[in-house]
């Protein structure tokens, strides 16, 4: 999911009637980011409901999964999330 770039107050201000109709590249980009995050959040909620499971944040393997310990690290995180012994 895209990171949060704007506070809730920022989002409300961009949606305010006096600013909502203003077309400027910076404001358009901000609105795009806010909409993109909202869409991603909605998609995650649909997936959670369909799967009946929460999210699992996997570590980024800088050296790739083929590096020593890469698969083991992923297995440990997934096993912990599933409540199993690695």
The reported pLDDT for the residue numbered 33 is: 95
pLDDT tens digit sequence for 37-60: 999 999 989 988 898 877 788 888
pLDDT surpassing 80 at residue 65: no
Q: What is the pLDDT of residue 27?
A: 94
| pLDDT for the residue 86 | 54
CB 8 within 8 A of CB 16: no
Contact 41, 33 (CB under 8 A): no
Query: Which pTM was predicted?
Result: 0.63
pLDDT band at 64 (very low <50, low <70, confident <90, very high): confident
d(CA 83, CA 53): 12
């Amino acid at each position: 999911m895209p990171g949060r770039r704007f506070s809730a107050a920022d989002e409300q201000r961009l949606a305010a009637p006096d600013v909502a109709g203003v077309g400027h590249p910076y404001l358009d980009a901000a609105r795009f980011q806010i909409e993109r995050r909202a869409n991603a959040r909605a998609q995650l909620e649909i997936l959670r409901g369909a799967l009946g499971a929460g999210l699992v944040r996997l570590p980024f393997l800088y050296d790739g999964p083929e590096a020593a310990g890469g698969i083991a690290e992923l297995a440990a995180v997934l096993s912990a999330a599933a409540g199993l012994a690695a």
